[in-house]
Structure 1
Amino acid sequence: MKKKLKRLREKDVSERQNTKKFHNIYKKLPFVQRQFLDMLLRNFDKDLQGRRYTQEEKIICLSIYKRSAKSYRYMRTFLPLPSPTSLKILLRKIQLDAGVNDDPRRRLKEAAKGLTEKDKVMILMWDELLLGTGLFYDKELDKIIGFEDWGNVRTDEFADHALVFMLRSVNTGNKIPVSFCFCSKQTTTSQLLYSIKEVIGAAKDAGFNIVASICDGGSSNQSALNTLIQDTVKLKGEEYVYTNGTYIVHGMEIIPLYDPPHLIKCLRNNLLNKDLELWYNEGKPESARTFAEWNHVITAYEIDVYGTDNRRYVPNLTDRHVYPEKN
């Protein structure tokens, strides 16, 4: 009997120590992880109809679902997570409309709350997406979606592209979607200029500091950035612009950047039918001039594939990347 009581006391002490350890670890967890753990502990022994989730918990699950729907469905086989249908219902409650209207401005101000000045330093990114044409009625907005729509202007043209703007924190890497527009064919320079200035103005009003912009090298983007640079030349002078390499919108000095994948693709496409001169110097004699050719890439690839070494140094490179006729 005494041995049994001793074992029970030891078990009780061990359980209390484990509970204390758990609470100490729990307190150190980030807020989102504590919410996710609370959700699992509250619903692990409930049947499907008895499970309950807060809106914050659904938002956490929605972020996982949007990252990978297939992975989320697999996680539901062993974790008590909300159904995809519940998450889609939650998503439909969020009213989104084209352009920078009151809702994006309000969400930007909410996103800025609690951030340090360092976390408010942002990069503005935008890109165009190809859409299939079609119309549908949004009963929440009481609006037919599918026509060209810039928020302030709607036309009767069918939209086949979407222009999307997003902010990304330089310090944390967190992304903040800002706005979208539906356009017919490619965005014109004037439309893009208006949207860029509108988004930057909304970000400034919310307290963010935009230091750079990133886009691809499309003709509309190049033309819009050149216009912004020329406007800055008129404001500050050529020497200031070419020394700093920036343009100014709403008092914010912004560095124009093009996304590296697009730059690499453009370099590759140009090298296919043009040579690149290295260390160009106007006074250099003809015999001293050196060029990079696409044949150099082909030679390096064939050495890698057919060389005497037993392993590849660039295993991801295939014939489709190197030989234009196989592209």
Structure 2
Amino acid sequence: MDCSSCRSLYELEMVKRKNLQCSLSEEQQRRRRFQRICYRQKQALVNNNAKIQQLKKQLKASQAKEKKGNKLLKTLKCNPILLESMKNFRINKNARRYPSMKYTATCQRINSGSAYKNLRAAGVLCMPHPKSITRWQQSVTLEPGCNLEIIRRMSIIASGLQERDKLIVLLIDGMALKPTIGFHAKSDFFYGLPNDGVFKVNEENDTANLANEAITIMARGVGTKYKQTFGYFLANTTLSCTRQQEIIEESVRTMFKIGFIPVGIVMDQHPTNVMTARAIGVTVDKPMFDIDGHPVLFFFDAPHLFKSLRNNLFNKNVLFQDEIVSFQHIRELYKMDISKMPRLVPKLTQKAVELPAFSKMNVKLATQTLSGTTAKAINTYVELQCLEKEVLPTALFIELFDQLFDVFNSRFKFNSAKLLFILFNCQFMISFSFMNILYIVYS
């Protein structure tokens, strides 16, 4: 083989090698490109899986939110106040109406005006303006006498109570009014004149004798917190004892008729009330009266009796078990205790001892003065020989009346003090022999 042929073969071989190298290079590039594509697809697959997991979480959260929203919507549909509030938030304030909110808002504002103001300012509920509530109240006509609408609503409440929760006491009390006369255009009615709730065809109204006292009657639960005023009467000076007796009898019969069981009448010591008690047959030996065969107990208001006791003791000495009880002993206790630290009777103040103007009307001062703490302090200072033994009858007198006040001031079913239990299931007795009366205390 000649040299030219060898060269040709060599060149051909070199071309083949070069082509082969090019093919290998292209194959490597295709392989790298394919690897890059696979890597990208793998990364995309990983990212897609992460997105799928995230979307699943979002879907789960959305379903939970939807479930919660459906539950809230169901609750909202069952609560007309919330539904009405949401509707009112979307409309102009001058176009808002409150058919469902009216009762709740009125009760809240009557209970506490400042609390209602804060609740409305919080913006949680769309509530009416206080002026709107005042306007609603002005549209309600409450004429003197027993209000039939209130009594009708009381009958609905009584129908849902247990037998023991139907026991009530009727409270009758009066308050002074500033004499004035006015005209209510909507009802075409003059107000400010005496009115005992009985319509008279030829009623002679004298503008010189305007109403200066209002007498109200309230039902109060014996073992519950229920209370409701259902009537009022206007009088010049006071109602007559005859009319007051008629009101008591009518109220007791009405309460029995609507389902309540009145067991007592409580009044203060106004002279008319004392005359009324005598008129209905109440005596010291028989402190009750019958209405249609139902016995009803009669009580004078215990806080007022306690205040009267303190006022009498302040003015005069009392003979108790052949011993002298004097308010001067309480003054001596105050002079002895005021310089001590700590004090045995911190609530016994100078005002309670001296009783300046209008202090005699304060029941709180009377209970703080004639309290068990005062009696114990007197006994303590006698034991320490800081006070004479002649003050001991005063301590016993105060302690007995403090126990008696607790008997008539019981409010709780259970209490650490035995005398503050509410009345049920007679278990023990305390004898106040100095009054010749055996007081049966229940616990």
So what's the TM-score if we normalise by structure 2? 0.58
Q: In the TM superposition, what is the alpha-carbon distance from 1:229 to its structure 2 partner?
A: 2.4
1:324 matches 2:355: yes
Structure possessing the higher relative contact order (Cα contacts under 8 Å, 6 or more residues apart): 1
1:8 matches 2:58: yes
Q: In the TM superposition, what is the alpha-carbon distance from 1:48 to its structure 2 partner?
A: 3.0
Task: Provide the rounded CA distance (Å) in 1 between the counterparts of 2:249 and 2:218.
Answer: 13
Asked if the contact 1:136–1:146 (Cα under 8 Å) also holds between the matched residues in 2, the reply is: yes
Output aligned runs, 1:1-327, within 5 Å: 1-9=51-59, 11-12=61-62, 15=65, 43=88, 48-49=93-94, 51-55=96-100, 57-79=101-123, 80-100=126-146, 102-103=148-149, 105-152=151-198, 153=200, 154-156=203-205, 157-230=209-282, 242=285, 245-278=287-320, 280=321, 289-309=322-342, 314-315=346-347, 317-325=348-356, 327=359
Task: Provide the rounded CA distance (Å) in 1 between the counterparts of 2:140 and 2:189.
Answer: 15
Q: In the TM superposition, what is the alpha-carbon distance from 1:269 to its structure 2 partner?
A: 0.9
Q: In the TM superposition, what is the alpha-carbon distance from 1:107 to its structure 2 partner?
A: 4.4
For 1:308, the aligned partner's letter is: M
Secondary structure in 1 matching 2:223:
coil
Go from structure 1 to structure 2 and tell me whether the alpha carbon gap of 1:221 and 1:122 turns closer, same or farther (over 3 Å shift). same
For 1:112, the aligned partner's letter is: A
For 1:253, the aligned partner's letter is: P
Task: Provide the rounded CA distance (Å) in 1 between the counterparts of 2:355 and 2:192.
Answer: 38
After superposing the two structures, state which structure 1 stretch, 9-18 or 257-266, moved more: 9-18
After superposing the two structures, state which structure 1 stretch, 77-86 or 8-17, moved more: 8-17
Asked if the contact 1:247–1:255 (Cα under 8 Å) also holds between the matched residues in 2, the reply is: yes
Go from structure 1 to structure 2 and tell me whether the alpha carbon gap of 1:102 and 1:68 turns closer, same or farther (over 3 Å shift). closer
Asked if the contact 2:159–2:259 (Cα under 8 Å) also holds between the matched residues in 1, the reply is: no
Asked if the contact 2:180–2:210 (Cα under 8 Å) also holds between the matched residues in 1, the reply is: yes
Task: Provide the rounded CA distance (Å) in 1 between the counterparts of 2:165 and 2:204.
Answer: 38
Gap runs ≥5 in structure 2: 1-50, 360-443
Asked if the contact 2:178–2:212 (Cα under 8 Å) also holds between the matched residues in 1, the reply is: yes
Secondary structure in 2 matching 1:132:
coil
Asked if the contact 1:148–1:155 (Cα under 8 Å) also holds between the matched residues in 2, the reply is: no
Secondary structure in 2 matching 1:229:
coil
Q: In the TM superposition, what is the alpha-carbon distance from 1:106 to its structure 2 partner?
A: 3.9
Q: Which string of whole-angstrom CA distances, capped at 9 and with x for unpartnered residues, describes residues 247-296 of structure 1?
A: 11233211112223212211221111122344x3xxxxxxxx33332233
Task: Provide the rounded CA distance (Å) in 2 between the counterparts of 1:119 and 1:150.
Answer: 31
Q: Which string of whole-angstrom CA distances, capped at 9 and with x for unpartnered residues, describes residues 87-133 of structure 1?
A: 12222232221123655554444443433333322110111111111
Go from structure 1 to structure 2 and tell me whether the alpha carbon gap of 1:305 and 1:83 turns closer, same or farther (over 3 Å shift). farther
After superposing the two structures, state which structure 1 stretch, 129-138 or 62-71, moved more: 62-71
Q: In the TM superposition, what is the alpha-carbon distance from 1:320 to its structure 2 partner?
A: 2.1
For 1:319, the aligned partner's letter is: Q
Give the equivalent residue in structure 2 for 1:283: none
Gap runs ≥5 in structure 1: 234-240, 281-288
Task: Provide the rounded CA distance (Å) in 1 between the counterparts of 2:56 and 2:229.
Answer: 61
Task: Provide the rounded CA distance (Å) in 2 between the counterparts of 1:225 and 1:104.
Answer: 27
Go from structure 1 to structure 2 and tell me whether the alpha carbon gap of 1:212 and 1:273 turns closer, same or farther (over 3 Å shift). same
For 2:257, the aligned partner's letter is: D
Task: Provide the rounded CA distance (Å) in 2 between the counterparts of 1:78 and 1:85.
Answer: 18
So what's the TM-score if we normalise by structure 1? 0.77
Aligned-pair Cα RMSD in Å: 3.3
Secondary structure in 1 matching 2:280:
helix
Asked if the contact 1:99–1:151 (Cα under 8 Å) also holds between the matched residues in 2, the reply is: yes
Q: In the TM superposition, what is the alpha-carbon distance from 1:16 to its structure 2 partner?
A: 6.3
For 1:158, the aligned partner's letter is: L
For 1:242, the aligned partner's letter is: D
Asked if the contact 2:165–2:221 (Cα under 8 Å) also holds between the matched residues in 1, the reply is: yes
Q: In the TM superposition, what is the alpha-carbon distance from 1:171 to its structure 2 partner?
A: 3.3
The structure number with the bigger radius of gyration is 2
Secondary structure in 2 matching 1:49:
helix
For 1:4, the aligned partner's letter is: Q
Q: Which string of whole-angstrom CA distances, capped at 9 and with x for unpartnered residues, describes residues 60-85 of structure 1?
A: 22122122323322332214321112
Secondary structure in 2 matching 1:185:
coil
Go from structure 1 to structure 2 and tell me whether the alpha carbon gap of 1:88 and 1:101 turns closer, same or farther (over 3 Å shift). closer
Go from structure 1 to structure 2 and tell me whether the alpha carbon gap of 1:104 and 1:60 turns closer, same or farther (over 3 Å shift). closer
For 2:246, the aligned partner's letter is: Y
Q: In the TM superposition, what is the alpha-carbon distance from 1:210 to its structure 2 partner?
A: 0.5
